[in-house]
Structure formats: C-alpha cells, structure tokens
C-alpha cells in the first residue's frame, strides 16, 4: 500500500476508534476500572504521548528547513533579481485569496443564515486575548538577533534573515559559492529527515486523532449543526472550487492533480490543526511532488504558513455573520467592509498554531463593533473546524506557490504531471538511494 494511503487509513482508524472510545466512555461508569484504564493509560497516556512527540518532531524540522531551503532558493536564483517579482506575486495572491475567502464567508453565511432564529443560552463570560497591534507586527518582521529569531521560531524573521544570507551568498564570489554548497548539502539532509517523519506519520496521525475524537464531545456539534455545516461546506467549496478555478485560469494546469498530491499534506494539517507543524511536509510536497523550484517554494511556503490563512479567513466571515444573526444585529455595509479588511490584515499577524483563528476573530468582532462574548458560542465546535480550515490554509499556500512558479516559467511540469513523483519517501527510499551510491 502506498505511504499516502497508509496515512489516510491511519486517519480513518483514529477517527473511528476515537469516536468509539467516546461512546464507550459515555456508557460505562466513569469510576469503573475500565474507564480509568482507558482514560489514564490510553487516551491521556499512550496516545497523548505519541501524538505530542510526533508534533514536537515536526516542529523540530521547521526552522532548519525554512532557513536552508530559502537560502538555497535564493542562491539558485543567482544574480537574476527575480526575487522581487516572486515576492510581489506571492504576496499579491495571498492577499487576494484571503480577501476572497472572507467575502465568501460573509456572503455564504448571509445567504444560508445559520444563526437565524437560533436560541442559545447566553454565553459564559469570554476573556478575549488580543493580538498585538499591526505596527508591532510590521516591526517584528525584522530580526535584531537571528539566533533569537530561530530559537523562538519567529518565522517571518527567519525568512528575512535567510533572504539576506541567500542574497549575499550570490554576491560574495568564491566564498559565497563554497557556503552555498554547504547549505545545499544541509538541505538534502534536512529533506531526508522530513522523509523519515512522513514515513512515521501513520503512527503519529493515528495517535493524535484517536485522542482528539475520544475527547471531542460531539453533542456541541449537534447543537451548532447549522454553523458547522455552513462553515465546513464553504471551506470545502473554497478549497476545491475557488482554488481549482484560480489554478486552471492562471496556469491551465489540472487542479485534480494538485489535489491528489496534497492528500498527504491534508492528513498532517487535519491531525495537527497547525499550518506551522505541517510546514515541513507542505514544503517537501510542493517541491518534490508538484515541481515548484526551491526559489519559489522556499519563500512562498514558509511565508504562506505564517500569513496566508484562507480557511481561517472564511471562518472569520461565517462566524461574524453567525454571531450577528444570533444577537439579532443587522450588519451595515461599513461593518462588512471592516470585517473584510481586519480579517485579511489580522491573518498576517497571527501564528500558525491550533486555535489562533479564535483570537483573530475577537479582533474582527471588536473592529466591527459586535459583542466579543459571541466567540464563546462557537468555541465548542472550533477544534474540528480548525482541522478542516488548516487543510484549506495549506492548500492555499501550495496553490499560490504553483501559480507563481508557473508564471515565472519555472514549474517542472514533468514532476507535476507524474503521479508517482516522491510517492515513496523515507526509510526505504533513503536506503535504496544510499545503496545506489558507489
């Protein structure tokens, strides 16, 4: 069985067994020794530990990978001065797709009306955590200490530092070439580590999902079914139709191929609910399965994981309208415009970790003059939706990277169209490659 299918099987098994455990725990006595055993040793023991180790190992790869891929990408561009065009196109497309996503969320929820006539208990007090002001966000992009930036995982700062190093390498003559060679070797090694992680993914994904579904609490989803269905429907629509049309219209490439190659990345995004933790897999997939060159992928993917969150933006739109409907507030055109603007800008300043969309939502609601306590209405169902929107977030990054590479005339279409490109990675493939070395 292919690795991707094994990961998807592990996902399905985790979801089914986790839900089964939840049902079982609800039916047996919570003090019985069986319930104690399941809770202590399985859910919060074995599965929790394996899942957390899996996420830690993914995060471990993020900083080294972003640093070396971006430096190598810049070095491969040489003196061609294309970086400005690549950066401009990438950022432009990220902003455009995010604004489209919020608008889709607002319009979709206004038409479908998930919150109309809904009676909910008045929500418990909610303490919003506010993101930093936009000026700080801008200043924080520029590192004063590269090692601190790497140690704290400040992705935008690492990106700026890597661009500077990469740029200087290409202009430092022989010394630059020697160091660029070293970074290329490092990149091959870090990519191999990502391969090993992907190989171990079935276990990690299984452990994460079984714990999550065993503790999810499905009853809240039933109460908020209209919100849940509207949002997940719009997320899938954006992921499939909007990106599909965008890719087809701008490049003529088949969106079906992109989607089929993204399945492995989706499994990671879904089970970790973090674009940041998924980044190593997204980057490897975009380079080795979609044929995007390092110069584009090394920039677009880490940047996208940090600033481009279309799934999160759709959630902002739907949640804002939903909360307004529940409170019986009519949104004015000005308020709608405010939501589009703040949601697009706020997504830049928030981190790629689980649940951050809720923090952004507090900001959007405040800006639009809506009650921030409304966030408490949707917290119960947010985790599962977070998993879906993270999958949309990473698809947006990969789609934009593919489009930019194609426009630059640098997309390797043979790799894009090859269904088996990088389909088996990791231990076995690494062993096979090593044994080929004379």
Kindly state the smallest distance separating residue 171's Cβ from ligand ASP, in Å.
Answer: 35
Minimum distance of ligand ASP from residue 42's CB (angstroms):
26
Minimum Å gap between C-beta 191 and ligand ASP is: 22
Closest CB 61 distance from ligand ASP, rounded Å: 16
Torsion sign over Cα 54, 55, 60, 63:
positive
Give the residue from 359, 348, 360, 258 showing the smallest Cα distance to 308. 348
Compare residues 312 and 402 and give the one whose CB is closer to ligand ASP: 312
CB of 295 or CB of 342, closer to ligand ASP: 342
Show Cβ contacts of residue 60 under 8 Å, excluding neighbours closer than 6 positions. none
Output 78 or 355, the one with its CB closest to ligand ASP: 355
Residue 189, C-beta contacts closer than 8 angstroms, at least 6 positions apart: none
In the complex, the smallest distance separating the C-beta of residue 102 from ligand ASP, rounded to whole angstroms, is 13
Supply 225's token pair. 């079914």
Using the minimum distance from each CB to ligand ASP, give the nearer residue, 98 or 274. 274
Between 97 and 390, CB nearer to ligand ASP: 390
| Whole-number Å distance between alpha carbons of 148 and 210 | 36
Under the rule (CB under 6 A), what is the footprint of ligand ASP?
273-275, 309, 312, 352-357, 386, 389-390, 393
The distance of closest approach from Cβ of residue 240 to ligand ASP in the complex, given in angstroms and rounded to an integer, is 18
* CB 309, min distance to ligand ASP, A: 5
Taking the least distance from each CB to ligand ASP, the nearer of 373 and 386 is 386
Instruction: Give the shortest CB-335-to-ligand ASP separation in angstroms.
Output: 22
Between residues 38 and 102, which has the closer beta carbon with respect to ligand ASP? 102
Q: CB atoms < 10 A from the CB of 283, how many?
A: 30
- Distance between CA 282 and CA 266 in Å, rounded? 9
| Nearer to ligand ASP (CB atom), residue 158 or residue 169 | 158
């Amino acid at each position: 069985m292919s690795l991707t299918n094994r990961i998807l099987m592990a996902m399905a098994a985790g979801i089914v067994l986790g839900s089964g455990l939840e049902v079982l725990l609800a039916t047996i006595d919570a003090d019985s020794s069986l319930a104690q055993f399941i809770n202590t040793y399985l859910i919060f023991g074995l599965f929790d530990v394996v899942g957390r180790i899996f996420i830690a190992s993914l995060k471990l790869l993020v900083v080294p990978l972003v640093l070396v891929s971006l430096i190598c990408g810049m070095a491969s561009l040489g003196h061609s001065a294309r970086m400005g065009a690549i950066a401009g196109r990438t950022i432009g497309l990220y902003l455009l797709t995010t604004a489209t996503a919020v608008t889709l969320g607002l319009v979709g929820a206004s038409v479908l009306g998930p919150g109309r006539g809904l009676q909910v208990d008045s929500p418990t007090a909610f303490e919003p955590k506010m993101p930093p002001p936009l000026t700080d966000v801008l200043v924080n992009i520029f590192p004063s200490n590269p090692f601190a930036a790497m140690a704290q995982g400040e992705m935008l700062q690492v990106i700026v530092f890597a661009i500077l190093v990469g740029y200087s390498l290409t202009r430092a003559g022989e010394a630059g070439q020697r160091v660029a060679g070293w970074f290329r070797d490092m990149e091959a090694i870090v990519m191999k580590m990502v391969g090993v992680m992907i190989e171990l993914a079935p276990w990690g994904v299984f452990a994460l999902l079984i714990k999550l579904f065993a503790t999810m609490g499905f009853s809240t989803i039933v109460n908020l079914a209209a919100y849940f269905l509207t949002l997940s429907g719009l997320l899938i629509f954006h992921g499939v139709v909007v990106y599909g049309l965008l890719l087809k219209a701008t490049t003529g490439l088949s969106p079906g191929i992109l989607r089929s190659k993204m399945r492995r990345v989706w499994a990671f995004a879904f089970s970790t609910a973090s674009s940041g933790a998924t980044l190593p897999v997204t980057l490897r997939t975009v380079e080795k399965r979609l044929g995007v060159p390092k110069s584009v992928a090394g920039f677009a993917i880490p940047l996208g994981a940090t600033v481009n969150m279309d799934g999160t933006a759709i959630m902002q739109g739907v949640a804002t309208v939903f909360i307004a409907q529940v409170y019986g507030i009519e949104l004015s055109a000005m308020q709608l415009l405010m939501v589009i603007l703040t949601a697009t800008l706020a997504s830049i300043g928030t981190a790629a970790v689980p649940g951050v969309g809720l923090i952004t939502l507090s900001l959007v609601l405040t800006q639009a003059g809506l009650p921030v306590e409304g966030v408490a209405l949707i917290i119960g169902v947010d985790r599962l939706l977070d998993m879906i929107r993270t999958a949309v977030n990473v698809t947006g990054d990969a789609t934009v990277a593919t489009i930019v590479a194609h426009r630059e005339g640098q997309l390797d279409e043979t790799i894009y169209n090859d269904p088996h490109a990088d389909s088996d990675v990791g231990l076995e493939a690494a062993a096979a490659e090593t044994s080929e070395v004379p």
